[in-house]
A and B are shown apart, each in its own frame.
Chain A
Amino acid sequence: MTDENWKPKIIAIICNWCSYAGADLAGGARIQYPPDVRAIRVMCTGRVDPLFIMKAFQDGADGMLISGCHFGDCHYLEGNYKCAKRMFLVKNILKNIGLNDNRLRMTFVSASEGAKWGEVMVDVVKTVNELGPSPLNKR
């Protein structure tokens, strides 16, 4: 598994109003970050079913990022709280099945935090690179 050509497969599920807008802002500001993360847009992180995360890890994802609005800023009042609560559950499950729960991360990036989005990207990729390929990686 320690193939030198290995590149991490990281999925991000991000909310339309804050993190997706923040990621767009990073683009406008030409903030450069590593290209290893693939984003899926949802309206709110509240949409994130724990099963999506389990599915991704089952499929061999090396890392996963859920990113929403700051607490209190949710476009739908409290979807991000609900999601954050679920993260504790999912992280527990990951630990219990022997996966390092640092492979899953939740961040809060607002629509005005393009630079922060860049930092999150760098950090997530770094973390997953250090952890190496997921033991569930099929290839």
Chain B
Amino acid sequence: MVETKNEPRIGVFLCHCGTNIAGSINIEEVKNYAKTLDGVVIADEYQYMCSTPGQSKIIDAINENNLNGVVVAACSPRLHEPTFRMATQEGGLNQFRFEMANIRDQNSWVHMHDLEGATEKAKDQVLIAVAKARMLEDLQPKSVPVEHAALVLGAGVGGMQAALDLANAGIKTYLVEKLPTIGGRMSQLDKTFPTLDCSQCILTPKMVDVGRHPLIELRTYTEVEKVEGYIGNFTITLRHKARGVLDPDQAAARAAATGILGTGCNGCGDCDAVCPVIKPNPFEMGMAPRKAIYIYHAQVMPLQYTIDFDACVKCGLCVDACGSEKNAIDLEAVDTFEEIKVGTCILAIGFDLIPIEEKREWGYKQYDNVITGLEFERLICASGPTVGHLIRPSDGKTPMKIGFVLCAGSRDNTGGVNKAYCSRFCCMYSLKHAHQIMEKIPGAVPYLFYMDIRSFGKMYEEFYYRIQNEGAKFIRGRVANILEDPITKNLIVNTEDTLLGRPVAMEMDMVVLAAAVQPKPEAEHIRQMFGVSKSQDGWLLEAHPKLNPCGTTTAGIYLAGVCQGPKDIPDTVAQAEGAASAASIPIHMGEVQLEPYFAMCMEDLCAGCGMCLNQCPYGALDLIEKNGRTVMEVTEAKCKGCGTCGGFCPGGAIKMQHFTSPQICAQIDAFLLKGGVN
């Protein structure tokens, strides 16, 4: 280690970033200015400071000039702070003796045509950074052990894939699903594009793998109640919703605890047969009935009935039907809670369709024969309410002319329920729907009303050609409105054919809206619990759109699937595997390094008033007796380093490491007393 004397010896390094910075800022002028600053012993510049020669400049300068502080004026610390901290450390200094001036993202890029203003700002930014660098202290990152378990929230195809990957890597994985079964949206689909694989056929093996895996702890009909802790050490409280039906394990536990015998639910369905309550079936998009005691669909995992307590009248018929041997039903069941400890978490919470009925001009929920793409999936599916016979909801007849409205709410920035983004899979599933009609109903003609066909994936464009050749009709233009013939219940689709340049009105037997997708309503609450930001369109925000698409800004939380943004099944699975890989790294490392931005109590200044205790959202602060005085004490393991206590302490007795009050005041003073042009 180089001896770090009290006298500040700062090196300032300016990055050109090619012309990114040098094109809008006079680097030479800033460098010469930096040389005049108190404590600066060397100021240098380089084309790319983050390159190996750039970093070498820092390392060499530390040794040659006996520096005790390093300032790099370049891009954002959110991008390259770790790089330069490592260089600082390689030079023999403590890595926290480094400060960054963001003269690119927050200067040259936002003042591109103001050379003078940008240069003045860059000088001040360097001045402010040097002011802080003069006061930096050696800090040691804190190493914490990582719990050898992971949480995956949402058991659709993405969540299942992530859980399987984690479990196969030897990590105990809690797979939490709010529905009574795993499988997600994909289990509602009939076929998948462009291969036309049967969706359930390729999904159920995965569901079985998940169910059987010894390292996957399946928690269905369960929601996350509370999230505490940080990477490596999350404590998650789960709410097991009252299911009212015991599986064999739960029945055995009951027998052991209370002596009430019974083998538990074996999925026989005797209860379902006698239940008198009938409700719409959400799995069938409300197009089929469901009892108050139900399984979600035929291929559920786990095979265990569930009581919908909002609908159940507690008549007890199911209890009798179940019988004393199984004795699986408990009508007085209540929610129970479980606390689990995990090192990392993956959110794979999926999506909903937009409430397309709010686009009144397209008549969904006004006209019987206007349905959504997801309803079409159920109607065309052999396990669906019509056992795969596509019929018109109004009269049960087979439709021969079927219109598909693409971009139904997508790529529309007019507000309301409309979404500016592309929902990414509607083009392809509509092509698939068109194929299915022509395959199942001889003579039926699909008409696709589209803006652009976005067939971007592997073999997608080829699939598009195939559907064109099969005889589907494509009309390019956004549908203005859909009207119903009150007698025939046929639908008149009014649009402009933009290729012919004229308005057209076409009569259809049935119309399928390829409705846009949107985040689930509960996504907002979930992301706030896990500390994940959202994009402007409401999807969960990744750490970096290109270079960290699975991570989030909260360490230890990762994203998979549509909850991060619309994507099809291959992309969802790919992202899930990426997220699983990312989430397994800290677990396999066994420990993670946390930045040492902890609060510290300066006991000689602390009056023991305890007003800071309420400021801390983590309960990290306590009052203790020490040497006959009451003083505050910080539990480092609980402190996350926000500094809210330090911003409040009336006695200035709380030191926020790396963001101390003297450091921040020095930054303020530097600019206001020495900086600026006037």
Contacts and interface: CB of A to CB of B under 8 A. Distances in A.
A18 B536 CA distance: 13
Nearest to A13: B664
Interface in B186-234: none
B125 interface: yes
Contacts of B125: 38
Given A18-B533, A35-B118, A43-B643, A82 B648 contact: yes
Given A43-B642, A46-B644, A82-B648, A32 B121 contact: no
A21 B411 CA distance: 26
Contacts of B109: 27-28, 30
B107 A52 contact: no
B642 A27 contact: no
A73 B528 contact: yes
B11 interface: no
B665 interface: yes
Given A27-B109, A42-B659, A5 B642 contact: no
A47 B675 CA distance: 24
Contacts of A51: 652, 661
A32 B111 contact: yes
Given A21-B78, A35-B121, A110-B534, A78 B678 contact: no
Contact of A32 (B112, B617, B652): B112
A106 interface: no
Contacts of B531: 75, 77
Contacts of A6: 678
B124 A38 contact: yes
B554 interface: yes
B639 to A, nearest CB: 10
Nearest to B539: A112
B388 interface: no
A56 interface: yes
Contacts of A17: 533, 553
Interface stretch (B88-96, B303-311, B666-674): B666-674
Given A17-B553, A32-B112, A47-B659, A111 B541 contact: yes
A47 B656 contact: yes
Given A21-B78, A44-B642, A83 B533 contact: no
Contact of A56 (B77, B648, B672): B672
Contact of A59 (B102, B535, B673): B673
Given A47-B642, A48-B647, A75-B554, A35 B668 contact: no
Nearest to A113: B536
Given A79-B642, A86-B647, A112 B535 contact: yes
B588 interface: no
A57 B258 CA distance: 70
Contacts of A40: 128, 664, 667-668
Nearest to A46: B644
Given A52-B665, A55-B668, A75-B554, A35 B111 contact: yes
B678 A76 contact: no
A79 B647 CA distance: 10
A46 B536 contact: no
Interface in A51-72: 51-52, 55-56, 59-61, 69, 72
B543 to A, nearest CB: 10
B341 to A, nearest CB: 20
B123 to A, nearest CB: 10
Contacts of B533: 17-18, 69, 73, 110-112
B355 to A, nearest CB: 23
A3 interface: yes
Contacts of B102: 24, 39
A42 B647 CA distance: 11
Contacts of B107: 27, 35
Given A6-B678, A24-B78, A79-B644, A11 B106 contact: no
Given A7-B677, A59-B673, A35 B644 contact: no
Contacts of B597: 43
B78 A20 contact: yes
Nearest to B645: A46
A83 B669 CA distance: 21
Given A43-B597, A79-B644, A33 B110 contact: yes
A56 B665 CA distance: 8
Contact of B668 (A21, A56, A79): A56
B77 A41 contact: yes
Contacts of B106: 23-24, 26-27, 39
Contacts of B618: 77
Given A35-B120, A40-B128, A77-B617, A47 B647 contact: yes
Given A7-B677, A24-B78, A139-B678, A72 B110 contact: no
B678 A38 contact: no
Nearest to B649: A49
Given A7-B677, A40-B664, A82-B615, A31 B110 contact: yes
Contacts of B121: 35-36, 38
B647 A112 contact: no
A23 B535 CA distance: 15
Contacts of B104: 27
Contacts of A31: 110
Nearest to B20: A27
Interface string B41-81: 00000000000000000000000000000000000111100
Contacts of A43: 597, 641-643, 659
Given A43-B641, A111-B533, A61 B672 contact: yes
A37 to B, nearest CB: 8
A55 B305 CA distance: 65
Given A38-B675, A111-B553, A44 B643 contact: yes
A60 B605 CA distance: 29
Contacts of B553: 17, 21, 75, 111
Given A7-B676, A40-B128, A76-B642, 17 more contacts: A7-B677, A21-B78, A24-B76, A26-B110, A27-B110, A32-B112, A35-B118, A36-B117, A39-B106, A47-B642, A47-B646, A47-B664, A76-B640, A77-B617, A82-B648, A110-B533, A138-B673
